[in-house]
Chain A
Amino acid sequence: MLFDKFQTMANFQAELAARHVKPFGAVTEEILSATEGVVQGRRVILAGTNNYLGLSYDPRCIKAAQDAAARWGTGTTGSRLANGSFAEHQALETEIAQFYGVDHAIVFSTGYAATMGMCSTLAGPGDTILLDADSHASIYAGVKLSGADIIRYKHNDPDDLAKRLRRLGERASQTLIIAEGIYSMLGDVAPLRDIAAVKREYGGYLFVDEAHSMGVLGETGRGAAQAAGVEADVDFVAGTFSKSLGAIGGFCVSRHAELEAIRFCISAYIFTASSAPSIIASTRAALRIIVAEPQLRRQLWDNANRLYDGLKALGLPVGPTASPVVAVEMADRSATIDCWNALMQAGVYVNLVILPASPSTNFLLRNSVSAAHSSAQIDTIIAAYAGLVSAGLITPTNKVN
């Protein structure tokens, strides 16, 4: 009885095994560069790693990590509130706050812990949270723990947000509004200019998760809020070190001094060990590179546009606008698995996405682009998709198959 609820998943995994495909937890046996590796015995272009700026393999970041490991050891073995706050952690908090032009920052051990921790703590019983319906699982996990009233607004729909704030009446000004910069699965950008305007009209506190937009959007890479010119309306920005910064970890920054008290109330911060110093050091190095080398963002967007335009020209159902995340939506699970497998055979690793990660009942072939991809690699990815069309695995209708 206890295990009955896992049977559907067990059956799905058995189906995948019978078809000799392993899209979930595919083992990378070797990393050759930021954009190439050996996955399940096959040399592939990595087109599903969120390594937007290619910094996971930057020699400066690697050297910083090596030096920190030699100096500080391999781990802190403790919580930030106990023995786990090294000078490296404190320095990164200062630097990430400076990067965002605010005074307060918290560094977490993972991006999941950052968003889950903040969302579970900022609002509590008696408060209200309004979150985008397509929010990341870490946000849903956090708000569920908060004890607050949880209300969803339609994905990227400021009018629906406004309607729901109006319905709250006087409670609107005490509401936590949650949006993301770039949504991770389809790559669409939140209409933060309009969301910020709604917030100004009704009140509330705006929390933006820039996990997939930090280093990607904005004049200096601060994300979607900077790109929309509404940073002054954002109360809390969360993000991750595991994407554009090429490491692992998360953060929250704020202009509110109360963040320093909030820090001591977040279970996901208190009851877990802090990041290894090597990770913090490579993150600091990557942050310096983001500041010093804005051309990385231009290269990323050149590649994103190249892939998006290429897949769209093939007639594949991609999103409405180009983005470093380019997802091909399909309705049939079996066909999507066949496509994923064929892409692997063609030397391209992408993400296969199913519920609950997919924001709808559709299945996704999710591509993420890197500044480190060469034009030739992008063209190889496009050619692999053209192979799916030629093989009749996907119909080029510009609509979900």
Chain B
Amino acid sequence: MTDYQEYLNFLISALASQNKKQLVLSENTALVADIGLSSLEVMEFIEKIEDHFDISIPLNILPDVNTIGDLARKVRDLNL
């Protein structure tokens, strides 16, 4: 079973190409407010995660997601 830290590490590495501001990414980095992802870029990022873990992330969980850590926890829960 992959734990939270592993999900977090993958998410941070997967965001590298979209981290145009070259921020130091952590679990507290906000996807939109800090990194500045557009809605289209968020969906591309989500698809990357889905294909990596072979899961589907329901749209209805996204309103609760602000930070990379929030998303890592959601992905972990989907895999439980």
A interface with B by C-beta (< 8 Å): 128, 144, 148-152, 164, 167-168, 361
Pick from B6-14, B27-35, B55-63 the stretch touching chain A: B55-63
Q: Does B24 contact A (CB under 8 A)?
A: no
Near A by CB (< 8 A), chain B positions 30-80 give: 40, 54-60
Contact-residue size bin, chain B (C-beta under 8 Å from the other chain): under 10
Q: What are the nearest 3 A-B pairs in CB distance?
A: A149-B58, A150-B59, A151-B56
Residues of A within 8 A of B54 (CB): 167
Contact of A152 among B40, B55, B59 (CB under 8 A): B59
Question: Do the beta carbons of B60 and A149 come within 8 Å of each other?
Answer: yes
Question: Do the beta carbons of B60 and A144 come within 8 Å of each other?
Answer: yes
Question: Do the beta carbons of B56 and A164 come within 8 Å of each other?
Answer: yes
Residues of A within 8 A of B59 (CB): 150-152
Q: CA A148 – CA B61 in complex, angstroms?
A: 11
Q: CA A167 – CA B47 in complex, angstroms?
A: 14
Residues of B within 8 A of A150 (CB): 58-60
In terms of DSSP, what is the predominant structure of the interface of chain B? loop
Contact of B40 among A164, A168, A361 (CB under 8 A): A361
Question: Do the beta carbons of B58 and A151 come within 8 Å of each other?
Answer: yes
In terms of DSSP, what is the predominant structure of the interface of chain A? mixed
Q: What is the minimal beta-carbon distance from B61 to any residue of chain A, in angstroms? A: 8
| A-B contact list, 6 entries, CB within 8 Å | A128-B58, A148-B60, A149-B60, A151-B56, A164-B56, A167-B54
Residues of B within 8 A of A128 (CB): 58
Q: What is the minimal beta-carbon distance from B4 to any residue of chain A, in angstroms? A: 21
Q: CA A148 – CA B59 in complex, angstroms?
A: 10
Question: Do the beta carbons of A167 and B56 come within 8 Å of each other?
Answer: yes
Residues of A within 8 A of B56 (CB): 151, 164, 167-168
Q: Given A149-B60, A151-B57, A167-B55, 16 more contacts at CB 8 Å? A: A128-B58, A144-B60, A148-B60, A149-B58, A150-B58, A150-B59, A150-B60, A151-B56, A151-B58, A151-B59, A152-B59, A164-B56, A167-B54, A167-B56, A168-B56, A361-B40
Residues of B within 8 A of A151 (CB): 56-59
Q: Which residue of A lies closest to B61 (CB)?
A: A149
Residues of B within 8 A of A167 (CB): 54-56
Q: What is the minimal beta-carbon distance from A300 to any residue of chain B, in angstroms? A: 34
B54, B57, B60 — most chain A CB neighbours (10 Å): B60
Q: What is the minimal beta-carbon distance from A235 to any residue of chain B, in angstroms? A: 21
